[in-house]
Amino acid sequence: MHDKHLTELAERRTLNLDSEAATQSLGAALSAQLTPGMVIWLEGDLGAGKTTLVRAMLKSAGETGSVKSPTYTLVEVHPISGLNFYHFDFYRFIAPEEYLDAGLDEYFDGNGICLVEWPDKAAPYIPAADLQISLSVDTDGNNVDDSKRIAQFVAHTARGKLCLKAIFPPTAAPHSSSPPPV
């Protein structure tokens, strides 16, 4: 499908994560929607909560071992119930060609589930996302213990949209749980 068409079909949502527990609940909700071949991009600064969210997704999917950040290994593989979850972190890439040099394209073969931190560091080579999630620290003055995050979602495919439907059921506020900007 043409890129422009996909963009037009993209669905966007925003969710406030008022605590780490809220991020873990989001991980559990997302985990229940993952199907083989899905690609999820996780964007946001260091400390935004990308690895925390992935950890919650994997634990909820049934990972009983540790979930280490792949910052140094580039990819950590988690086989869970016959399905491979590939957790990537491209933070340390100096040039996006490192993605090709490392042969990482093979992981995106449509069989496993790819959870990608710092996807922009591998652009334009990395395959497109079904769901793009951007996390940021909530800069609201009430964020006294620094535990509030904002998650912004863009679903690019039908599968991505199904994820959003599960997280934002039709009866919930359709676009945002955030107050309108002042």
Ligand X SMILES: Nc1ncnc2c1ncn2[C@@H]1O[C@H](COP(=O)(O)OP(=O)(O)O)[C@@H](O)[C@H]1O
Q: Residues in the site for ligand X, rule: CB under 6 A? A: 17, 19-20, 22-23, 44, 46-52, 117, 147, 149
Closest CA to 115 of 77, 142, 152, 63: 77
* Position of minimal CB gap to Mg ion: 51
Which whole-number Å values give the CA distances from 114 to 71, 111, 163, in the listed order? Answer: 15, 9, 15
Q: Residue 177 binds what, of Mg ion, ligand X, none (CB under 5 to 8 Å, by partner type)?
A: none
Helices (H), the chain: 3-9, 20-31, 50-61, 97-101, 158-167
Are 83 and 112 spatial neighbours (Cβ–Cβ below 8 Å)? Answer: yes
Q: Which is nearer to ligand X, 39 or 56 (CB)?
A: 56
* Position of minimal CB gap to ligand X: 49
Q: Give least dist CB 82 to ligand X, A.
A: 27
Residue 113 has a CB neighbour count (10 Å cut-off) of 23
Q: Give least dist CB 172 to ligand X, A.
A: 19
In the complex, the residues that contact Mg ion under the rule CB under 5 A are 50-51, 69, 117
Q: Residue 130 binds what, of ligand X, Mg ion, none (CB under 5 to 8 Å, by partner type)?
A: none
Measured CA angle at 27 (ends 26, 29), to 5 deg: 65
Which 3 state secondary structure label does DSSP give 130?
coil
Q: Which is nearer to ligand X, 21 or 95 (CB)?
A: 21
Q: Residue 47 binds what, of ligand X, Mg ion, none (CB under 5 to 8 Å, by partner type)?
A: ligand X
Q: Give least dist CB 52 to ligand X, A.
A: 3
